[in-house]
């Protein structure tokens, strides 16, 4: 079987080992005679998968005991609404640091719920960089401060997370969770859609500090109340059981290959190789993000001419490279090099880029 070089931004590459194992267990999970997709979510077999995934995520990310781990549905987009509904009280405001399209969308949903404040924005630079600590503004009325840790569209990433002792930070980490060490204690809540580094689409991980639940309003819709899912261990309703099973396999794969520390070094190696290829081209390829804000997950770049860019994407697809077209909102090219993208794929892309440069240098 010929596997393509998958650089999709999400749903994205999954480890081949994980796909092989899922295939082998698809019809009969551990010789049980049923697929995971056929298990009752109340069964002991599924419960073992579910609890195993929670425990392994806790181990890999070193999640303290005073945090809950939830598996929810609705993607990160539903969290845009759940966060302010649960934590934005009258007389307070949600403080949003705007670093790209997804933080803009999170702000838009919060504005429907209550008062908001924009404590930083990168719109004036077309989101080409992450704001400095000096550019961040806080307010005495902040209920929480929201950031998006990695910006898939523009290819920027917070290298150091903002700190302010008296603030509750909430982070959308959909596109870089599990890719590097995270100081969990700096955040009140972290959420992440699975379809980048954690598994297939369909499940959203929420890591929530228990203390935050004490002031949650009482009149929330049941399914939009974090307490509902905490009290029922994410089993209030039927969970996305197969997605959680796949997530558990990805977590086992991550542990097998050295855990977060090893994965982080691997990701740095891939990103450095690709950015070196861009920079060494001396302007044939130009990175979109400022160098000190470059993402290790989403590498964005442009070519000198639109016609040349289209030819690049056409020839790349013919050579088996998938997902290199930039987001429709900014164009250009983008290579998403999440955890499951092997180094060999990045090396192959760099070879193709160098060859294309030599053929079409202007």
Q: Please identify every residue annotated as catalytic.
A: 102, 172, 196
How far is residue 183's CA from residue 229's CA, in Å, rounded to a whole number? 24
301: helix, coil or strand? strand
Say if residues 172 and 193 touch (Cβ distance below 8 Å): no
Nearest CA to 100 among 181, 179, 9, 13?
9
**Biggest alpha carbon distance in the chain?**
65
Residue 8 has phi, psi (to 5 degrees) of -65, 145
What whole-number distance in Å separates Cα of residue 206 and Cα of residue 79?
A: 9
Written in H, E and C, the secondary structure of 29-89 is HHHCCCCHHHCCCCCHHHHHHHHHHHHHHHHHHCCCCCEEEEEECCHHHHHHHHHHHHHCC
Number of helices followed by number of strands (H, E) in the chain:
9, 14
Q: 178 near 53, Cβ under 8 Å?
A: no
- What span, in angstroms and rounded, lies between the C-alpha atoms of 132 and 112? 28
Give the residue from 337, 285, 282, 336 showing the smallest Cα distance to 309: 285
């Amino acid at each position: 079987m010929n596997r393509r070089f998958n650089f999709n931004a999400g749903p994205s590459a999954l480890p081949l080992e994980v796909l092989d194992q899922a295939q082998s267990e698809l019809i009969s999970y551990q010789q049980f005679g049923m697929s995971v997709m056929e298990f009752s979510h109340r069964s002991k077999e599924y419960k073992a998968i579910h609890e195993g995934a929670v425990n392994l995520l806790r181990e890999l990310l070193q999640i303290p005991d005073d945090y809950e781990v939830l598996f929810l549905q609705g993607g990160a987009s539903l969290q845009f609404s759940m966060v302010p509904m649960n934590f934005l009280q009258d007389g307070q405001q949600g403080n949003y640091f705007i670093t790209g399209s997804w933080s803009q969308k999170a702000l838009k949903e919060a504005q429907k719920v209550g008062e908001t404040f924009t404590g930083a924005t990168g719109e004036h630079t077309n989101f080409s960089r992450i704001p400095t600590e000096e550019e961040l503004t806080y307010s005495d009325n902040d209920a929480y401060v929201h950031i998006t840790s990695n910006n898939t569209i523009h290819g920027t990433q917070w290298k150091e997370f903002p700190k302010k002792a008296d603030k509750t930070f909430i982070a959308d980490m959909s596109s870089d969770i599990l890719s590097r060490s995270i100081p969990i204690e700096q955040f009140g809540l972290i959420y992440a859609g699975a379809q980048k580094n954690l598994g297939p689409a369909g499940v959203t991980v929420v890591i929530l500090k228990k203390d935050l639940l004490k002031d949650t309003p009482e009149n929330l819709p049941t399914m939009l109340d974090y307490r509902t899912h905490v009290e029922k261990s994410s089993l209030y309703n039927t969970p996305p059981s197969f997605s959680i099973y796949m997530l558990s396999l990805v977590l086992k794969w991550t542990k097998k290959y050295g855990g977060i520390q090893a994965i982080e070094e691997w990701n740095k190696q891939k990103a450095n190789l690709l950015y070196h290829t861009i920079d060494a081209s001396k302007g044939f390829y130009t990175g979109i993000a400022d160098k000190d804000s470059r993402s290790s997950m989403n590498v964005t770049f442009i070519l000198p001419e639109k016609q040349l860019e289209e030819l690049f994407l056409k020839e790349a697809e013919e050579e088996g490279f998938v997902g290199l077209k930039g987001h429709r909102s900014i164009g250009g090219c983008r290579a998403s090099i999440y955890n499951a993208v092997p180094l060999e794929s990045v090396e192959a892309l760099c070879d193709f880029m160098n060859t294309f440069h030599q053929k079409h240098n202007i």
